Amino acid sequence: MIRTENLTKGFAKDRGIFSLNLDVPAGKIYGFVGPNGAGKTTTIKILCGLLKPDSGKAFIGDLEVLPRNISEIKKKIGYMPDIFGVYEQMSVWEYLDFYGAAYKIPAKKRKQRIEEVLKLTEAMHMIDYQVTSLSRGMRQRIGLAKTLIHDPQILILDEPAGGLDPTARIEMRHTISRLSALGKTILLSSHILPELSSVCDIIGIIFKGELLVQGTVKDITRELQEKIVINMTLDSDMNHARGILERIEHVADVKAVDEDQFQCAFNGTRDQVKNVLKLLIDNDVLVRWFSENEADLEDVFMNVISHK
């Protein structure tokens, strides 16, 4: 639903985006990860037709992002910038009604549509609030409701959890998951990594304008992880088990983490991990639990950046 081909936009020698190749499948949540200034917002503005690239192509569905297609593209996408304008003298109802009219939704249908988007964003109770009275978290919900008013297929959300307190971030995460369940394709830009890891299907990591990797967190971890960390729980003599582990090829850094648990590093291939379990069992070690330690998104991000 969103695709770029060697997309490039330079602002200085080392600022901008360079040969960017995004691929966002239909119905998925794509986490666009990178530090401030990495090129996330530049990419988003090009996708929305707000900025012209120096070279390369961008596509929304089957439509290339070109001036002649912008009218159709704007029907397909809902864009929520990190900072958006509000008309503080309006009520929430008037604010959404204004945008509904801008999208040429007939007056008879606007009332129903406003109620639908407020329910989706769990903001129905705010319908008569003055915009000026809303907290940051409330404004983010109303901003998302405005983004949904024309029922777009694709949502492009730039730092939707930026500046929110923990409760508001959790609520925003739940709302995004509900929208994905409705079949929306979502490009979610953020530098708050724990928020992304729990909600995104695919991650793309951008650094200094270059897309370093994209894929699931699990796939990226497996591609980049230099050593595998294994956790195990045993029903055996721990000294005997340690002796076995320390003699197994590729096993290192064996340490007890509890009275019946070991953790160790494995420097072999992932296909060879099963040999560790087999050798323990063959040597009469009773294994209750054996698993690979999954890296979180922060670990993956720092690993990618350090490789770069």
What is the model's pLDDT at position 224? 63
Does residue 18 form part of some domain? yes
Q: How many domains does the chain have?
A: 2
Which residues, other chains included, contact 108 with Cβ-Cβ below 8 Å and sequence gap of 6+?
Answer: none
Whether residue 61 is found in the same domain as residue 208: yes
Whether residue 30 is found in the same domain as residue 96: yes
What is the model's pLDDT at position 298? 76
Q: Which of 171, 190, 215 is the last residue of a domain?
A: 215
Whether residue 99 is found in the same domain as residue 248: no
Give average pLDDT by consecutive 10-residue segment, the chain, 308 residues: 96 87 96 89 95 96 95 94 82 95 94 96 94 90 95 94 83 91 94 77 92 84 72 94 93 92 89 92 95 76 75
Token pair of 47, please? Answer: 């996708």
Whether residue 111 is found in the same domain as residue 207: yes
For residue 197, the SS3 value is helix
Spatial distance between the Cα atoms of 20 and 99, rounded to a whole number of angstroms: 32
Whether residue 136 is found in the same domain as residue 268: no
Q: Which of 193, 215, 237 is the last residue of a domain?
A: 215
Whether residue 243 is found in the same domain as residue 285: yes
Whether residue 77 is found in the same domain as residue 174: yes
Element spanning 10, H or E: strand 2-12
Does residue 301 form part of some domain? no
What is the model's pLDDT at position 295? 66
pTM of the model: 0.79
What is the model's pLDDT at position 308? 67
Q: How far is CA 86 from the centre of its chain?
A: 26
Which residues, other chains included, contact 106 with Cβ-Cβ below 8 Å and sequence gap of 6+?
Answer: none
Q: Which of 161, 190, 215 is the last residue of a domain?
A: 215
Domain boundaries, position 60:
2-215
What is the model's pLDDT at position 253? 92
Spatial distance between the Cα atoms of 123 and 42, rounded to a whole number of angstroms: 30
Whether residue 192 is found in the same domain as residue 52: yes
CATH number of the domain where residue 106 is located: 3.40.50.300
Whether residue 146 is found in the same domain as residue 39: yes
Whether residue 25 is found in the same domain as residue 173: yes
DSSP class of residue 130 equals: B
CATH number of the domain where residue 279 is located: 3.30.70.100
Whether residue 183 is found in the same domain as residue 211: yes
CA atoms within 13 A on the CB side of 257: 12
Whether residue 60 is found in the same domain as residue 161: yes
